Amino acid sequence: MNEDQLFARRVRTHMTKQWKTWRLILDWTVVLYGVIPLVIFLGYQYRLLWQDELGWVSQVPMFVWALGIGVVLLRNQFFVWIERADVTLVAKRSLIHRLKYNSLFYHALKLGATSLFVLWAFIPVIWLDGRSVASILAFGTALLFVTAVHTWTRYQLTIRRSHWMLRVTVTCVTFLCLYALLIDSLLWAVVLGSGLVAVAMYVGEGWLTRHPYLSQELERSETLRTAFDRALLSTSGAIEKLSRRKRPLYRPKPNRFGSARRTSAILLYIRTPRHRNLWLRLIPLAVTGMLLVPSWFKLLIPLYVGYVMWQERQAFKQEMERHPFFRAIQERTDL
């Protein structure tokens, strides 16, 4: 197995774990009652935004839009797919070099896809502001470039364990650069962007050739690769936390979030379809949909509610057929 195959296997394993985590949290009932109506509603609102029928959008200042874009794009999630077994291979320095290169390419593709999605969602606001097509393309390119420079700089400052004020300063300068791009102030955008590029070139020199901060990169990789699962599962009790004992064994730490068995029972109770919960779910959904969605789009709501009722009825029948009491009755009637 070469370096590229090793990297592909690690990424595939990580994405499989994330998919299983989402499947554990988002059951099919959550998708039916929450995700699908939200997607339909947001799609309809996006169409209204293109038609300039949402008057409040033009009243929102560009500072708020820059803050929203910054919250989505300026998250520092870059890490290198390196494990402790790789660090022991000191004689084979090309392995670390190749894993770093593949990690950089992987996160660049991921950041490009995120930036493209944000730009596609934000295009109506810029278009209604009077920008041309060339200006929108230039804004998208500059947005991707500034976000990539910020991610790279924050990662280098983090593994170097620089002062937190320096990292906050880099984020603030990047936010001001995004705001300058939104208000079409080219002078400030060029000045701030040039400063970010200079800092990125200084802190990232020799990152692929020399590896002076390999232990810090390893710690950050382990933390971020497990942060997704722990943020969704550990606080809810679905998985137990790591044992970091700070007290004697005879005085255990109280579990304030409940045990995994209790949380699993609560989740099963909420997700199990029952007739007493059916109308409490469907009636608010139908009434809210009729109030929020105007015009001919309301025709989809009865179809959707009927589909959910059919799904609930089928699931209820399957639950009852698996119950031991109904199995015993079925055996007696078959005789």
Q: What is the pLDDT of residue 8?
A: 92
91 has pLDDT over 70: no
Q: What is the pLDDT of residue 325?
A: 61
6-43: b or e for each residue (b if 16 or more CB lie within 10 Å)?
bbeebeeeeeeeeeebeebeeeebeebbeeebeebeee
Give the confidence band of 248 by pLDDT, cuts at 50, 70, 90.
Answer: low
Q: How many C-alpha atoms does 134 have within 13 Å on its Cβ side?
A: 0
82 has pLDDT over 60: yes
139 has pLDDT over 70: yes
103 has pLDDT over 90: yes
Helix (H) or strand (E) holding 332: helix 324-334
110 has pLDDT over 70: yes
**Single pTM value for the model:** 0.67
Which of 23-32, 73-82, 102-111, 201-210 has the highest average model confidence (pLDDT)? 102-111
Give the confidence band of 113 by pLDDT, cuts at 50, 70, 90.
Answer: very high
Give the confidence band of 295 by pLDDT, cuts at 50, 70, 90.
Answer: low
Work out the mean pLDDT of the chain and round it to a whole number: 77
Stretch 134-140: mean pLDDT:
87
DSSP state for residue 60 in the 8-state scheme: S
Give the confidence band of 11 by pLDDT, cuts at 50, 70, 90.
Answer: very high
Higher pLDDT, 188 or 272: 188
268 has pLDDT over 70: no
Stretch 70-90: mean pLDDT:
83
Q: What is the pLDDT of residue 193?
A: 85
Q: What is the pLDDT of residue 43?
A: 85
Higher pLDDT, 12 or 227: 12
Q: What is the pLDDT of residue 269?
A: 47
List all residues 6 or more positions away from 119 whose beta carbon is below 8 Å from its beta carbon: 136, 139, 140, 143
| Residue pLDDT, tens place only, 317-333 | 777 677 666 666 666 55
Q: How many C-alpha atoms does 23 have within 13 Å on its Cβ side?
A: 6
List all residues 6 or more positions away from 331 whose beta carbon is below 8 Å from its beta carbon: none
The percent of residues in the chain predicted with pLDDT above 70, rounded, is 72
Stretch 16-40: mean pLDDT:
77
| Residue pLDDT, tens place only, 53-64 | 877 877 888 888
Name which of 37-41, 106-110, 147-151, 303-307 the model is least confident about.
303-307
189 has pLDDT over 80: yes
Q: What is the DSSP string of 279-313?
A: HHHHHHHHHHHHHH--GGGGGHHHHHHHHHHHHHH
